Amino acid sequence: MPKDVFYVTTPIYYPNDVPHIGHAYTTVATDFVARYHRLRGEEAFFLTGTDEHGKKVPQAARDQGLEPQEFVDRMEPRWREVWERLDVAYDDYIRTTEPRHEKAVTKLLTAVYENGRDDIYLGTYEGLYCVSCEAYYTEDELVNGLCPIHASPVEAVSEENYFFRLSAYQDRLLEHYEAHPEAVEPEARRNEVLSTIKGGLRDFSISRTSFAWGVPLPWDPKHVCYVWFDALTNYVTAAGYAEDPARFERMWPADVHFIGKDILRFHAIYWPAMLMAAGVEPPRQVWAHGFLLVGGEKMSKTRLTGIHPFELVDHFGVDAYRYYFLREIQFGQDGSFSWESMVARYNADLANDLGNLASRVLAMLDQYVGGRVPQPPRTHGPEVRLAEAARGAAAEYDERVLAMDLTGGLAAVWGCVGEVNRYLVEVAPWALAKDQARRAELEACLYASAEALRIIAVMISPVMPRAAARLWEQLGIDSALEDQRLPEAASWGAIAPGTRVRRGDALFPRLEG
């Protein structure tokens, strides 16, 4: 059975704290992409979850007087609560403390250990370790003696570990990326990965004996699996690696791992090498986006720049939240968040452009033609420009999103919204309504405007599912929005004459601040 599922993942998140908008940025982007592929008629599978092993979990649990499992059981629901509130429609949620995951980790470790190439060996590690990263650093990688990611102190560690012979995979990794340059995006991140590989790879530790919270190594149970060898395996766990070979064949390799650029090395160097060692195909693509910055700093609870998503959802609403981050910040680059920019984007794009357009068209349909979609014109007039705008926007939207230019894809949709607004200003249906002799022109304008709104509702559904559903309901369309498929749904003329529209509250009431 060949692979026939579009499989997309977020990183799995540490549950030792609550989510902030940086975590939500990755997750909402992944949800948007998964929903878009479903809109294209594809079977999509979206995985997220929590990484519950490693040194920091027992430390945090001890601080609260809890056992590690009790601690993660209490913390993990906070993450699901946020994803539910943000309308994140994941298909599977994995916890690395689940039995199915332990089976997969054990299987992958065993495959690498028994591959006949001595890719796992026992040694002693002495180095500098960041608990927050769950990673070792050399002296020259530190910034002012601190972790380069978290700006926190590192620990000097010395212990007996098992190591993975990453150095043996330097040439294979370079060959893989030469054959598949699309396997790391965007280009700047790919160049970073290639530079690291060409600079020489160091073997890395895959076990610990200083704590017992983790998956025991199958050949030496006094060692537990190091968190990255454990955590990364979640992607094959959910695909059925240890329990369902037929499912695994349909789903693997993953089409896209969405991650923040701070964990690029683990996903684009460690992970494919681990899979190669186990005889498993690497993922098709690792897509590393930039950081969300507040006051010039990366989102961080320790630096007090971590904003909880609910702070914004409570004020702007969930659809505006989802739209803002994907539209405001070029996906793949670093970008700054500010309250002021969110208010400005909300009022300009959502309240003015889309919200006013929907309210105006629905009001005119109600006032001028009794609340029913009129017959389409028999001859083509100015309204043909809307058909062309919708068709062009849908095509560009598709091209951009498939290339992971999520910001550009939404800009294409808003190009269509803008064209409909310009059309209404130029045709002036409110003036046509005063002249009975121009009744046919009025009805042609209103039909075209309603049809354009229908197509816009379909296109915005992956990013703003609630607003799309409300607009769809106001348009009175009998068929279900979730049954629509692109590109067919962008074909002109699908809204039925006589459809009863329903004026309702504004999709996006204007905000003062």
Indicate which residue of 55, 56, 107, 130 is catalytic: 130
Q: How far apart are CA 501 and CA 475, in angstroms?
A: 5
Q: Is 11 left (phi over 0), alpha (psi -120 to 50) or beta?
A: beta
Give the H/E segment covering residue 204. strand 204-205
Indicate which residue of 37, 55, 150, 289 is catalytic: 150
| Residues in contact with 177: Cβ distance below 8 Å, sequence separation at least 6, in sequence order | 183, 184, 190, 193, 194, 197
Indicate which residue of 101, 107, 298, 416 is catalytic: 298
| Residues in contact with 52: Cβ distance below 8 Å, sequence separation at least 6, in sequence order | 15, 68, 72, 76, 95, 96, 97
Is 133 noted as a catalytic residue in this protein?
A: yes
Is 267 noted as a catalytic residue in this protein?
A: no
Indicate which residue of 20, 37, 101, 107 is catalytic: 20
Q: How far apart are CA 321 and CA 200, in angstroms?
A: 42
Indicate which residue of 103, 301, 308, 315 is catalytic: 301
Give the H/E segment covering residue 398. helix 384-402
CA-wise closest residue to 445 among 502, 504, 435: 435
Indicate which residue of 55, 147, 267, 445 is catalytic: 147
Q: How many angstroms from the chain centroid is the CA of residue 464? A: 14
| Residues in contact with 195: Cβ distance below 8 Å, sequence separation at least 6, in sequence order | none
Q: Is the peptide bond before 11 cis (omega within 30 degrees of 0)?
A: no
Q: DSSP class of residue 13?
A: B
- How big is the chain, counted in residues? 513
What is the Cα Rg of the chain in Å?
26
Is 445 noted as a catalytic residue in this protein?
A: no
Residue 508 exposure: Cα atoms within 13 Å on the Cβ side: 29
Adjacent-strand bridge partners of 47 = 9, 92
Is 298 noted as a catalytic residue in this protein?
A: yes
Classify strands 44-50 and 6-9 as parallel, antiparallel or unpaired.
parallel
Q: How far apart are CA 355 and CA 136, in angstroms?
A: 50
Indicate which residue of 133, 225, 416, 445 is catalytic: 133
* Sheet with strand 120-130: strands edge to edge: 135-137, 120-130, 155-164, 204-205
Calculate the alpha carbon distances from 341 to 347, 409, 464, 474 in Å.
Answer: 10, 20, 19, 29
Q: How many angstroms from the chain centroid is the CA of residue 305? A: 21
Is-contact 198 18, C-beta < 8 A?
A: no
Catalytic (active-site) positions? 20, 23, 130, 133, 147, 150, 298, 301
